[in-house]
Homo-oligomer: A and B are copies of this chain.
Amino acid sequence: MGEGSERITTVEIYGQSYYVRGMSSPEYIAQLAAFVDERMREVSELTPTVDTLKVAILAALNIADKYLTARKKLQAVEQLVADRTEKMRASLDSVLHTDST
């Protein structure tokens, strides 16, 4: 998501401001911040706590779960692409072979 040089973007998450240094666009950083903020608000509704650190950690665990699940699916789909391409190629080959005999 990088585009150009490093810059600092200010975001608000769970009522507090943070400076985020990075190569990404302010729009993308804002999208990430909104995503984390939403997860924290979900967690705080389910977990009765006033400990913001705990809320942030549980939100991080929740997002890590989403990431590992997406990564696993991605690997499975990439394997599917490879398998299917090979199968289709074999089918085409077999048709072309039938043709030439």
Residues of A within 8 A of B (CB): 1, 13-14, 16, 18, 20, 24, 29, 31-33, 35-36, 39-40, 52-54, 56-61, 63-71, 73-74, 77-78, 80-81, 84-85, 88, 91-92, 95-96, 99
Interface SS of chain A: helix
Tally of this chain's copies: 2
Known A40-B60, A74-B77, A91-B92; 18 more pairs at CB < 8 Å = A1-B65, A1-B69, A13-B57, A18-B57, A20-B61, A32-B68, A53-B53, A56-B56, A63-B67, A67-B67, A67-B70, A70-B71, A80-B81, A81-B84, A84-B84, A88-B92, A95-B96, A99-B99
